[in-house]
Amino acid sequence: MAEMVKVAITERKEKLKTPMTAKDWIKFIIMLILSIIFIAPILLVLINSFKGKLYVSNEPFALPSAESFSGLKNYINGIQKIDFFSAFFVSLFVTVCSVALIVLATAMCAWFITRVKTWYTKLLYLLFAFSMIVPFQMVMYPMSQVANITHLDNMFGIVIIYLGFGAGLSVFLFAGFIKSVPLEIEEAAMIDGCGPMRTFFMVDFPILRPSAITVAILNAMWIWNDYLLPSIILNDTRTLPVAIQYLRGGYGSIDMAAMMAMLVLAIIPIIIFYFVCQKYIIKGVMAGAVKG
């Protein structure tokens, strides 16, 4: 085993020493250009968050100078105008509760659909898969009416609504991964006296960790940045994306500098969360989509 590891390390080192071919350089240049295209808008927002209000409109692509640099004024101004911390904790509550509920409920649902082979479980799986292709705009108006009638138009009720919208993709990923888990593991647990619930939580759910983290990341990024659904559903409370829009003001008076500063603060938590968990994304997606 040690010899095989040494051979693999040696081959890897030799491959790294191999000079890049023209094809490799073309790939590198293409990836570099794409990286710049994706990063440029974020850098533009960051640069403008440190410039005065007038300079953001007149010189949006210029770096802050001694005249245009405003320091942390835009951040302080934006935090005060939109009650940033209140909106932040609303977004945090909605995101954490929605993601936790989605992961738990869809993992159990996918396990049941995969292990119980009946016509209605197959139909249920098809309905979940179909829900992924239904556009939000198609159900937007009737959903808002139903949410109002059932009193789900609050920060607690919207968690249930997010569960409905996030269930399709989540069940699809979990079901694909559960199919790769040997059934003999569950049978051994049941022989030892575990019931279905204990078997799931003590045997299957720990194995589902890569897919669970993948589902959590994908749903957290979507829910944290979502503007349309909270703006339609919530009445008395505001999430962070909705609160930031109030910096537009009235009669076209938009405080772009403060808005840029608040956008920077809004994307920092999700970037940190993504970088902490990013190594599980490809593993979970490949396990859930390819093995299934």
Residue 83: φ, ψ to 5°: 55, 60
Q: What is the mean pLDDT of residues 82-110?
A: 92
Residue percentage of the chain with pLDDT more than 90: 13
Q: Could you tell me if 112 and 122 are in contact, meaning their C-beta atoms sit under 8 angstroms apart?
A: no
Cα 254 to Cα 53: distance, rounded to the nearest angstrom: 9
Cα 274 to Cα 177: distance, rounded to the nearest angstrom: 21
Residue 2: pLDDT band with limits 50, 70, 90 = very low
Q: Residue 194, class by beta-carbon neighbours within 10 Å (0-12 exposed, 13-18 middle, 19+ buried)?
A: middle
Residue 1: the pLDDT is 41
Cα 188 to Cα 228: distance, rounded to the nearest angstrom: 47
Residue 285: the pLDDT is 54
Q: Could you tell me if 219 and 290 are in contact, meaning their C-beta atoms sit under 8 angstroms apart?
A: no
Q: What is the mean pLDDT of residues 131-152?
A: 85
List domains and CATH numbers for the chain. Answer: 18-71 (no CATH), 77-289 (1.10.3720.10)
Q: What is the mean pLDDT of the chain?
A: 82
Question: For residue range 239-253, what is the model confidence (pLDDT) as tens digits?
Answer: 999 888 887 765 556
Residue 194's SS3 state is coil
More confident residue, 107 or 56: 107
Cα 17 to Cα 37: distance, rounded to the nearest angstrom: 30
Residue 290: pLDDT band with limits 50, 70, 90 = very low
- For the cut 90, the answer to whether the pLDDT of residue 89 exceeds it is yes
The pTM (predicted TM-score) of the whole model is 0.80
Q: CB-based contacts of 212: which residues, under 8 Å, 6+ apart? A: 103, 107, 174, 205, 284
- For the cut 90, the answer to whether the pLDDT of residue 255 exceeds it is no
- For the cut 60, the answer to whether the pLDDT of residue 7 exceeds it is no
Residue 251: the pLDDT is 57
Cα 146 to Cα 209: distance, rounded to the nearest angstrom: 34
Residue 51's SS3 state is strand
Residue 100: the pLDDT is 94
Residue percentage of the chain with pLDDT more than 70: 87
Question: For residue range 35-85, what is the model confidence (pLDDT) as tens digits?
Answer: 888 888 888 888 888 888 888 878 788 888 888 888 888 898 888 888 889
The tokens for 124 are 């249920």
- For the cut 50, the answer to whether the pLDDT of residue 110 exceeds it is yes
Question: For residue range 185-239, what is the model confidence (pLDDT) as tens digits?
Answer: 888 888 888 888 888 888 888 888 888 888 888 899 889 999 889 988 888 788 9
Residue 288: the pLDDT is 46
Lowest mean pLDDT among 8-12, 81-85, 254-258: 8-12
